[in-house]
Structure 1
Amino acid sequence: MKNAILILTLFFSIGSYACDCDGILTIEKAFKHSEKVFTGKIISIDPYNSKVYENGDETIEEYSNVKVKIEITNSFKGNSKKIIEIITGIGGGDCGYDFILGEEYLIFAYDNGIYTEKNDGIMETTICDGNGKMSDRKEWMNYLKKLK
């Protein structure tokens, strides 16, 4: 009986943290709800919001987010600099987007307080925002080029 309660507790705990994107995302909706829309190459991915502690003979670093540094190649919305840093989760139900170092993406970013404090000037993005590798976003790119 104790095992059943433990399993149910784990099931409901995990479910409460699962990422839930709101319906089907269109380019129009993604563009409207983002503060910055740009293409860029991922130049670094580093832990963000980390905690370091000692466990016997080893030092352990735990982190809940990543800071992604991006070299912007084209900006469609917002006054983006040449280099921008954005925060995203690490995955596993936190809505974090899994960027790959060296790849080029279409990115939708905003400062809405999912991973940091709202209105703190730190841009964020999630898997629900429309991000994608350039090779997967050709139709969306056509729409954005028409806006320019």
Structure 2
Amino acid sequence: MLIFIIKKTIMNRISKLAGLLAGTLLSLAGYQALACSCRPLTVKEAYDNARVVVIGKVLSVRYLTGPDVVVSKPVDQMTIQEKYQNGITEKIVTVQVKSRIKGKEQGRIIEVTTGLGGGDCGVHFEENKDYIIYAYAKEGGNGRYATGICSTTKPYTKAECKTLKKIKKGKA
């Protein structure tokens, strides 16, 4: 009888631990379930959907924070989750335009906003690297543009650049 009680106690504890573990895993999976999902676009579709298409060099990447945001460590050292918890939800990317494929001339420097990445469709930009940026006018964005991975913004490639130039000339 004593062995039965001990087995039952052990089984109850294992059951509780399994439930706790399952709950923890589900809560973490919920964070990943917010992942960005979009249909891959052809270069032509991306071009047609964009308001502006530029080839440019990223000069800086900074985080958009509200006036009341006080953080305990530098933003670039935070995880994505910590950024969201601190009200930081967008990056502002300053781009030196090398070539404008589509859109009105807005100067040699433009600002593009994007999400943080990790599920919100934000593009990972690195300073001093060239990108092909497919963007749209940001509503209430004070002349800024917005982009995301669904617009197919990506690091520069010669092949895609050639395709874009053909599309612009109406030959693709």
Q: TM-score range by the shorter chain?
A: 0.7 to 0.9
After superposing on structure 2, the runs of 4+ consecutive aligned residues of structure 1 that deviate more than 6 Å are: none
Q: TM-score, normalised by structure 2?
A: 0.69
Shift of 1:140: 1.8
From 101, 106, 110, the equivalent of 2:136 is 110
Cα distance per residue 1:54-96 (max 9 Å; x no partner): 6xxx567642211000010110111132110000112111111
Give the SS at the match of 1:141.
Answer: helix
Structure 2 residue 144 is matched with structure 1 residue 126: no
The CA RMSD over aligned residues, in Å, is: 2.2
Give the SS at the match of 1:52.
Answer: coil
Q: 1:53 to 1:60 in 2, by over 3 A?
A: farther
Q: For residue 4 of structure 1, what is the amino acid of its counterpart? A: A
Query: Residue in 1 aligned with 2:23?
Result: 5
Q: Percent identity?
A: 31
Structure 2 residue 45 is matched with structure 1 residue 29: yes
Q: Which has the higher helix share?
A: 2
Contact 2:137–2:146 (8 Å) recurs in 1 = yes
Q: For residue 113 of structure 2, what is the amino acid of its counterpart? A: I
Contact 2:52–2:136 (8 Å) recurs in 1 = yes
Query: Residue in 2 aligned with 1:98?
Result: 124
Unaligned runs of 5+ in 1: 113-117
Q: For residue 47 of structure 2, what is the amino acid of its counterpart? A: F
Q: Which has the higher strand share?
A: 1
Give the SS at the match of 2:107.
Answer: coil
Query: Residue in 1 aligned with 2:158?
Result: 138
Q: For residue 71 of structure 1, what is the amino acid of its counterpart? A: Q
Q: 1:92 to 1:72 in 2, by over 3 A?
A: same
Count of paired positions = 136
Higher alpha-carbon deviation: 119-128 or 70-79: 119-128
Q: For residue 108 of structure 2, what is the amino acid of its counterpart? A: K
Query: Residue in 2 aligned with 1:115?
Result: none
- State how 1:56-71 maps to structure 2 within 5 Å: 58=72, 62=83, 63-71=88-96
Unaligned runs of 5+ in 2: 1-18, 76-82
Tell me, in whole angstroms, the C-alpha distance in 2 between the residues paired with 1:6 and 1:102.
40
Tell me, in whole angstroms, the C-alpha distance in 1 between the residues paired with 2:128 and 2:49.
27
Give the SS at the match of 1:128.
Answer: helix
Q: For residue 87 of structure 1, what is the amino acid of its counterpart? A: T
